[in-house]
Amino acid sequence: MKTPDDMPLLTGYDRLKSARYNKGTAFTEAERDEYKLCGLLPAKVSTLKEQELRALENLRRKVSDIERYVFLLALQGRNENLFYRLLIDNIEAIMPLLYTPTVGQACQEYAFIFRQPRGFYVTPADRGRVRDIMRNWPEQDVRLIVVTDGERILGLGDLGANGMGIPIGKLALYTACAGIQPRLCMPVMLDVGTNNEALRNDPLYLGINQPRLTGDDYCSLVDEFVSAVQDAFPRALIQFEDFLTPNAYSLLDRYRDRVPCFNDDIQGTAAVAHAGVLASGRITGVDLVDMRIMFLGAGSAATGIADLIYTALRNAGLNDQAARQHLWLVDLHGLLVTGRENIAPYNLPYAHDVPDATLSEAIRRYKPHVLIGATGVSGTFTEDIVRMMAEINERPVIFALSNPTSNAECTAEQAYRWSEGRVVFASGSPFAPVTFQGKTYRPGQGNNAYVFPGLGLGAIASRAHTISDDMLLVAARILAATVGTDDLAAGAIYPPLARIRQVSLAIAVAVAEKAWEEGVAQEQRPEDVECMIRELMYEPGY
C-alpha cells in the first residue's frame, strides 16, 4: 500500500494508529523494519485471512448485537482494510449488525456508546464559516457525502445528533457493496437541535441542547452547507438521509437540478420497491401495467415509491389518469380522497375522487395486487388484512418495509402463515427463512443497499450533474433482472446479499450509460464502461 506523495511517511505507533495504513500483525518483517515497528508487534506475521478469522471469533463472543456494532466500529477505526474485508466476506451476517436493524439501537444509544470521533458536524453556531471549517476535514477529494439532520431516523423519530450513526453506516455500505474508496466518503450531521425532550434532558447527549431550527434559519444553514460542499468538494454527490418528510421533499426539490444529489428515503426506497414489484410479477404473472398497488402510509417512502412507479407506468404508455388509477394511498385518516383537508402537496396527485375508506374497505373495493407498508408502526398488517389480500389474489404481494424490524407492519412468519404460504413477501429489515407446511421460504429484504451503492458509483464514475428518474428506473430494472429462478422458487424477489457487489456493478454501468445518454455526464465516456467502473472499485487487502 503506497503512501500518497503529499503525506509524510507514518512510522511507529503513528502508523499503527492510522486506520487506512495499519495492517496490525500482518506487517511483514521488511515492513516492520521500514516503518520502525520492530518491538511494537508480536512476532507472528499474520495473513489477512487469519486476522479475519480472529475478528470473526471476537465478534461471535459478544453477547448482544449492540456490542457487536461497537466492536465493528472500533475495528473500522483501527484497521480499515480488515474491517471491509470482514464485511464483504460476511455481508449477510454483518450488514444487519452494521445497519438495520441494529443501527436503530445504536442511534438511540449513540451518546452512550460514543468512542471515537467520526464524521463532520455542522451547527447553527457555524453559520457564516461552514466553508472554513470544512478545511478541517482530513481529505481534500470527497466524492460522496451522506447527510442527515436526525429528525426522522428510521421509524424511531427525532434522535438529533445521535443520528450520525446513519451516515456512518450508509457510507460503510457504499464501500462494501460498491467499492467506493473510504477516503472519498464523508458522513455529515446537520446538528440543528432536537425536539426530543428526553435527549435534551440527558446529560450524556452530545448534540446542541436547543429546539430544532426551523423556517428560513434552517433553510439558510442548509444552503450554506450545500454551497460549501460545492466549493470544497465540487465533484461530490450528496445523499440526503432521514429528513422529516416535508423537509425531505423541499430539499430535494430545491437542489436536485442545482447539484448532484438524491434522497435515499424517497428515491432509493422507490427504486428498491419498484424492483421488488417488477420481480414479483414473475411469480404472480401480473405485469406492471395491470397491477393495482396500495400503500399503507403516505410519507416520503410511500409517496416516493408511488412517484417512481407512476413514471414507469407513463413510460409504458399510460396517460396520467390511467397511471394514477393503479396507485392508492391510505394514511392514518384513511384512503386519500379529494375533498379531504390539509393533504400535503406531494400527496395531492394520489387523492382519488371516490368515497372515503379504511384500509380494509379500500382493499375490498379496489382489490390491489400489491400492498406496501411504509408506516413505521408494527402490527398494522393484521391477520384480517393479510387474509383479505389472500382471498382476492392467488399470490398476494405484501411488502412490510418499515425499519427497524420491531416496526415492521407484520413479520414474515405471520405473512406466510396467514396466507397459507401463498404470499410474496418482502420487508425492510431482514427476517430469517420461514418453514410452513414443509416448505421453506426465503423472505426478500427490500434493502436500499441493493440500489444506492450502485447508483452512487455510476453517478460518480460518469460525474453526472443530476440524478434523473430514468437513472432510478434503470437501476430498478437491473436489480429485478438479477433475481434468479432459484430465488423466485424460494419466494425471494431480491438476490442474495452475497451477490451485492456484482449487482452494484451492473447498476453502476447502467446508471452511467444513462447519464451519457441523457447528456448529464461530465466525464468522457470510455470505450469499455464496465472495465472503467470495475477499476474504480476498492478491493480491501494488503
Residues annotated as catalytic (active site), given as ranges: 99, 170
- Non-local CB neighbours of 411 within 8 Å, separated by 6+ positions: 400, 431
Angle at 302 between CA 169 and CA 255, to 5 degrees: 65
Cα separation values, 390 from 78, 225, 379, Å: 51, 49, 17
Q: How would you list the strands of the sheet with 370-373, edge to edge? A: 334-335, 327-331, 293-296, 370-373, 397-400, 424-427, 444-445
Q: Is the peptide bond preceding residue 101 cis, with omega within 30 degrees of 0? A: yes
Q: At what angle do helices 383-392 and 359-366 cross, to 10 degrees?
A: 0
**Which burial class, exposed, middle or buried, applies to 78 when counting CB atoms under 10 A from its CB (0-12, 13-18, 19+)?**
middle
The string of DSSP codes covering 508-537 is HHHHHHHHHHHT-B-SPPPS-HHHHHHHHS
What does the alpha-carbon distance between residue 258 and residue 486 come to, in Å, rounded to a whole number? 43
Three-state DSSP state, 369 = coil
Q: Are 340 and 263 in contact (CB under 8 A)?
A: no
**Which burial class, exposed, middle or buried, applies to 47 when counting CB atoms under 10 A from its CB (0-12, 13-18, 19+)?**
exposed
